[in-house]
Chains A and B, each alone.
Chain A
Amino acid sequence: MFLDFVEGPLWYAAAAVFLVGVAWRLAAIARAGLKEDLSVPRTAGAPGAVATVFRRFLPHREFMRPAAFQMVAGYAFHIGLFVLVLFAAPHVEFIEQRILGFGWTPAPHWVFLLAANFAFAGLLLLWLRRMLDPVLRRISTLDDHIGTGLTFVVMFTGCMALFESHDFLRALHMLFVDLLLIYFPFSRLMHAFTFILSRGFTGATMARKGVSA
């Protein structure tokens, strides 16, 4: 009943909102348009865009120290989350049965635990800093807290359901997954897709100027 609903109708609705919403957001960016840059470039923009998409995975050497916290916590969270989402055994099974029709080798249990620990520690540290650091307090919006909170709850309920013996816990997890998917396109969680565009735009502009950004 509850599980059937959150894994059935609600899941399809959430996935639809997610897909359509993300597409709509990306289309909105395209629709906003970009004026052609008439200045004479030093180097081509496109390779610079690609380069910057990858280069920004690490801060500039000079900025390592100021960015150390966000680097460590950010990577712990993001890599952890990535492993959890794509390689946790129940997720692989779900993807195989409900989405793609094929799966892949799931991560062993100890990798899952390690990933979950990294993800939780990273997310908690980042979230707490958002509440404590005057800078982050100043710039954070309600959306930041809802987005972080939803992600936290999804991870938390996911781990609660780790024992895989109670449908209720699985359903609870699925419920929050559905909510997260529905919330996703309307929120800052969109950065998961748009960061490529942002880095690309900046990288292209800077490459035209001959600066590797």
Chain B
Amino acid sequence: MSERFEQGVAALRRLMDARIVSYFSSCVHCGLCAEACLFYTETGDPKYTPIYKLEPMRKMWRQENTFWGKLGVKLGLTEPLAEQDLADWETLVYDSCTLCGRCSMVCPVGNDIAYMIRKEREGMVAAGYAPDGMKEATRRALEIGSPMGVTLKTLRATLKGVERNTGLAIPVDAQGAEYMTLFSSMEVVNFPEYIESIARIFAAAGVSWTISSEAFEATNSGIQIGDSKAAGELVGRVVSAAEKLGVQYVISPECGHAFTAIRWEGANLIGRPLPFKVIHILELLEQLREEGRLKLEGHTDIRLTFHDPCQIVRRGGVVEQPRQLLREVATEFVEMRDHGVMNWCCGGGGGVSANERAEPLRLQAFQRKKKQLDELGVETMVTACANCRIILEEGIEHYGMDVQVTGLTELLAEHLAGPAES
């Protein structure tokens, strides 16, 4: 038994909290979670049943927390968790789960399966069983500051472009600003429109904001791969930068897991309450609109729908804000059949997008989104997560569909009232 495996077992043992013990005690193996999981519904393969992905952790629970399990292991009747189990389950745990948490919504006994998988990944990664792509991304995040390798230089170059396009000065390291924004690397590299949009909106609404040159990366690979130490390190950077600038709020960008990482896990990862409030960009925009600071004009008459990013909506609680905002600017906003907290994941969350070997499976799982879109027959889809957006665009490309994907913040910026409209 290798030392790494021992570490994995130790991690699983440490994480076996009351929730997980209760969850495993309650599970009656009814199989309903399978119907909630897009990897199962799109492949029909029973191994993608969510609770089945927890087999290693269940074995751990059985041998540590149950009478028969303990007895069985002592008598040699029950095989304890073996390293091979972790090896066998690596693909199930990382490639076929986006931590979207839809299964957690349907479990009749109320098990939060996504929570358990998140914890199981801690054990997997401690034992060294994680996809190379994600390991790499985490390494880059820790060493370079961004999973995609985006450096401050890259950001500055992007910001220069933004300033040129908008004619606005982008505040960097402005002491005493009210809000500090974070970006996902994808926004910096692929969607600078997002940065332009918030610059315009904030200018129009008179928001005092800034970007920290020390911590601008919102994504947190540690959360995805299940490495609390790395995740805590990444959150810690944001916290110290925010403390240095003395901001009251940190804005989580249009990126799903980034929001979860800082809003819901941040304080727990660093072991103390955050010295600032975390607000999602959509929450802030809706708040500004309600206060009358964000004035919108004009409508788009294109029939469009909204793709709920799991970590923002179901696992983040930002459910109504995007819909309120969208209704302001779109007359033909229609909902997919399963939406809001029961939406279907794009297939690339939870680090699956950073996991190259998962691509064929992810594209297969995308058929679920395709069906939803085909059923609705819309040609424009709005979303609020850079990762979703990339995955959706890839899927649309792969299946040769005729659908445009756009960010909600950008859509709002396009309908900004007043002189800011260019």
Contacts and interface: CB of A to CB of B under 8 A. Distances in A.
Do A and B make up one complex? yes
Interface of A: 25, 28-35, 37-40, 42, 52-53, 56, 59-60, 62-63, 66-67, 70, 74, 130, 133-141, 143-144, 185-186, 188, 190-191, 194-195, 197-203, 205-206, 208-213
Interface stretch (B18-26, B121-129, B131-139, B192-200): B18-26
B264 interface: yes
Given A32-B21, A38-B272, A209-B264, A138 B49 contact: yes
Given A139-B52, A191-B109, 10 more contacts: A28-B21, A32-B65, A38-B267, A38-B271, A66-B35, A67-B108, A143-B68, A144-B29, A191-B28, A210-B319
Nearest to A60: B342
A209 to B, nearest CB: 4
Interface of B: 16-23, 25-32, 34-36, 40, 46-47, 49, 51-52, 65-68, 104-112, 115, 263-268, 271-274, 277-278, 314-319, 337-338, 341-342
Contacts of B263: 39
B268 A38 contact: yes
- Report, nearest first, the 6 A-B pairs whose CB atoms are least far apart: A199-B110, A210-B317, A38-B267, A66-B35, A209-B317, A138-B46
Contacts of A205: 19, 112, 115
Contact of B106 (A32, A60, A137, A190): A60
Nearest to A31: B18
Contacts of A35: 17, 268
B29 A139 contact: yes
A195 B337 CA distance: 29
19 contacts: A29-B21, A39-B268, A53-B110, A62-B337, A136-B30, A139-B51, A186-B66, A191-B25, A191-B109, A194-B109, A195-B108, A198-B109, A201-B110, A205-B112, A205-B115, A208-B264, A209-B316, A209-B317, A210-B319
Contacts of A66: 32, 35-36, 106
A190 to B, nearest CB: 5
A199 B109 contact: yes
Contacts of A52: 110
A108 B271 CA distance: 59
A191 B27 contact: yes
B413 to A, nearest CB: 26
Contacts, number: 176
Contacts of B28: 144, 188, 191
Given A188-B29, A202-B104, A209-B316, A138 B110 contact: no
Contact of B25 (A29, A63, A199, A209): A29
B47 A39 contact: no
A31 B68 CA distance: 18
Nearest to A144: B29
B419 to A, nearest CB: 36
Q: B111, B263, B265: which has the most chain A beta carbons within 10 Å?
A: B111
B17 A32 contact: yes
A3 to B, nearest CB: 30
Contact of B16 (A32, A60, A136, A194): A32
A198 B110 contact: yes
Contact of B46 (A137, A197, A201): A137
Nearest to B269: A38
A138 B52 contact: yes
B105 A213 contact: yes
Contacts of A185: 67
B110 A67 contact: no
Contacts of A203: 110
A60 B106 CA distance: 7
A134 B43 CA distance: 13
Contacts of A202: 19, 104, 107, 110-112, 115
A206 B260 CA distance: 12
Contact of A211 (B21, B277, B341): B341
Contacts of B318: 210
Contacts of A198: 19, 22-23, 25-26, 107, 109-111
B18 A201 contact: yes
A206 B16 CA distance: 19
A190 B25 contact: yes
B31 A34 contact: no
Contacts of B47: 138
Max chain B Cβ within 10 angstroms of own Cβ: one of A25, A28, A141, A202: A202
- Residue from A53, A135, A197 with most neighbouring chain B CB atoms (10 Å): A135
A136 B52 CA distance: 10
A63 to B, nearest CB: 5
A53 B46 CA distance: 28
B30 A74 contact: yes
Contacts of A144: 28-29
A133 to B, nearest CB: 6
Nearest to B316: A209
A210 B29 CA distance: 28
Contact of B268 (A37, A59, A138, A141): A37
A34 B18 contact: yes
B247 to A, nearest CB: 16
A56 B19 CA distance: 17
A197 B26 contact: yes
A66 B199 CA distance: 44
Contacts of B337: 62
Contacts of A25: 25
B286 to A, nearest CB: 13
Contacts of B26: 190-191, 194-195, 197-198
A213 B315 CA distance: 10
A50 B6 CA distance: 39
